[in-house]
Structure 1
Amino acid sequence: MSVSTLEDFVKNCRNIYGAAFNYMYPSSDPFKRVEEPELFLKAPTDFITEGQSIKIPNGFTVIEEVTLGVIIGNICKKVNVEDALDYVGGYCVAFDMTAINELQKNISQKVPWTTSKSFDTSCPVSGFITKEAIPDPNNVELFATINGKLQQNGSTSELRFTAAELISFISQQHTLEPNDVILIGTPPVAGTVRAGDAIIGGIKGGVTIKFDVKDD
């Protein structure tokens, strides 16, 4: 698919996949024995772009989680890891906004994460980043700040499962389509955001995004 078509991924996306627990945390992390990708879904209506505000739903305690988003460029079904990056059309910087109080409830009750991961404005993203601008998605330095204070800092080299492995894994059961987005994981340590905060996330030396936070 042409780059010009993928530039409208926010408008054309049908599926947002997220990878949970996908960074190497200290050995005390209770989820350290992840043997295959743990996935969640967001709705495409969760997207917002710069100039719009993140809105915190009533009763939610929300954290920011900066991540690299992989944008699929071609129809992708049952691909192997070695070929998976051939199906990437580009990238974006994203925040996976998470209602942490709801997530704790979801985990304890062993129910899907829908209420904690997918709500209006829960997926702020940058514009389209060309594939050529990120020649190696396994070596991208990500950061996030809250009100100017560094909150997150890490590299995609620390992922449990690489972008290629995630694409291959998802494609075994789901046909990935152009403009689908995969949020590949967030580095430590996500921070709580409140109304009035301003958050910035991005790639060191590259694309950044800034959003303000409001109560819904």
Structure 2
Amino acid sequence: MANAANIQNFVKFGRKIVCIGRNYKDHIAEMKAALPTKPVVFIKPATSYIQQGHSIVIPPECDDLHHEVELGVVIGSLARNVEQSSAMSFVAGYCLALDMTARDLQQDCKTKGLPWEIAKGFDTSCPIGEFIPAEKISDPHDLDLWSVY
């Protein structure tokens, strides 16, 4: 496990944000998308992080910005090809996160068969809250999440 100071400052030391899309049935229905049989994985670069007190910079070509409230899971040590039974042992903590999406840019990319990182991975596209150590949340599957803006 990385040292506690580095974990709490994951924004500075984190190298990427691994996201799982289409993991919420109501949102899948809202987007008129098919329920995936495997996780839909996409990456946001570390430049996507933005902390409280800073502003989201909307891409100038975006006219339709959406947000989704997410539980950010902070991985505390190197984890590759982890078995489901041991996955939680890699979790150092959590944070509230927003997944900002330029929906119009995303739709344009999808229509053209292009990757849609430009719509999800722009700088400041992942506002996050404070780090919460894993031991403070007894069941991460039983949380109510919301944001006020």
After TM superposition, the score normalised by the length of structure 1 is: 0.63
Superposed, which structure 2 residues align to 1:180-195 within 5 Å? none
Match of 1:56 in 2: 58
- The alpha carbon displacement at 1:27 in A equals 8.5
Structure 2: any 5+ residue segments left out of the alignment? none
Match of 2:73 in 1: 70
Aligned positions, number: 146
- The alpha carbon displacement at 1:98 in A equals 0.6
| Counterpart secondary structure, 1:10 | helix
**Structure 1: distance between partners of 2:83 and 2:69:** 27
More strand by share: 1
% identical equivalent positions: 36
Q: Does 1:141 align with 2:144?
A: yes
- The alpha carbon displacement at 1:79 in A equals 1.3
Q: Does 1:21 align with 2:22?
A: yes
**Structure 2: distance between partners of 1:34 and 1:49:** 31
More helix by share: 2
- The alpha carbon displacement at 1:125 in A equals 0.6
| Counterpart secondary structure, 1:91 | strand
Q: Is the 8 A contact 1:25 1:32 kept in 2?
A: no
Deviations 1:21-59 (A, max 9, x none): 110128855324310100111110111111101121212
Runs (4 or more) in structure 1 with deviation over 4 Å come to 26-29
1:83 to 72, 77, 86: 86
Q: Is the 8 A contact 1:62 1:100 kept in 2?
A: yes
After TM superposition, the score normalised by the length of structure 2 is: 0.90
Q: Is the 8 A contact 2:22 2:35 kept in 1?
A: no
Q: Does 1:103 align with 2:106?
A: yes
The Cα RMSD (Å) is 1.7
Q: Does 1:113 align with 2:116?
A: yes
